[in-house]
Structure 1
Amino acid sequence: MNPSAVTAARSPSRLAHIALRTNRIDELIGWYCNVLGAHVAHASDKVAFLTYDDEHHRIALIGLQNYPAKDETTRVGHYHTAFAYDSLADLLGNFVRLRELGIVPYRSINHGPTVSFYYADPEGNEIELQVDSFPDAAAANAWMQSEAFRRNPIGIEFDPDRMLQQLREGVPEVELMRRPDSVQ
């Protein structure tokens, strides 16, 4: 056996799932099913496994004990989990559907490589719902070398209702997803 083959890094083939501890399992089941269009693959009073595609589960909710609540302190560690949509129309359609359910993003931002909505679940776990702004990873990576990204790697907040109105008026998705400070 080649020794370098043993030590060579091998990337995973995909991100399989996220797991969250919770004291409010039923509430989180409902929230994630609503937000992601997921369904319950298995649930008991202590654990639940949710999926929205052909994977057996994408989200595991674990309620094995009474966990201490999160505090409001910003800490190092996991910040959010992002879920991608295929088009801006899909992302904005989901934004409208969620708003009708009383679920609204706390932040809407055009990062450049993505257009994103940020939501917090009932226990304060944060998720990002996004759409890629570029046709492929090479184009996104090239844009991330731009002066606009160097000056502002976080992005520019936007009004989702205005973007939705513009999409309904026929403004092309590619134009709506272009970050305003990008060179035309």
Structure 2
Amino acid sequence: METALDIAVTCVSVVVVGFYSWSLRAHFSSPQVPSGFKVISAFVTATTLYFLYLVWSVTQPVSAQIIGLGLEIVAAAMFWWAIAASRRARLRFAFDPDNPDSLVTTGPYRYVRHPFYTSYIVFWAGWAIATWTAWSILPVIAFIVIYVVAAKGEEKKFASTPLAAEYDAYRRRTGFLVPKLISA
């Protein structure tokens, strides 16, 4: 069972990282690749290799692998839901210095303002659980910091666009990375 779960975790994880890589060419677009985005890409590559090493070198509880796989699948579903909702918007890469020129409020954006970042965090947390080692928490914390910084920067840019008032109203009714439980 352990080997089968190791294979499942490996395959699902690599496929999801592949989805994210695909989106860089086929969904997101920026005039140039921001340096912050290059840092994220390098960190994704390093963390992927590290987590693959952990999956195959450390024995994990079956329950941790199943929970981790479940979270990865939820993250992939959220990712594709966000892709479908934002297809026409042509969103930019993380840390792009340009101001946004569109606002997406459908699909997962009805509940959270940054569903891509949420899906990435859920994915990395799932993979960390599947590796079942305390050391895997460090990259997840780093990803959370990176994605929160990117999201806060994107939100700040809306204030200087014609979308400022609309974004402010949207911000008040939706959650940042998790849905609001109580509407304000």
TM-score (norm 1): 0.31
- Structure with more of its chain in helix, by fraction: 2
- Structure with more of its chain in strand, by fraction: 1
Identify the structure with bigger relative contact order (alpha carbons < 8 Å, sequence gap 6+).
2
Q: Which protein shows a greater Rg? A: 1
TM-score (norm 2): 0.31
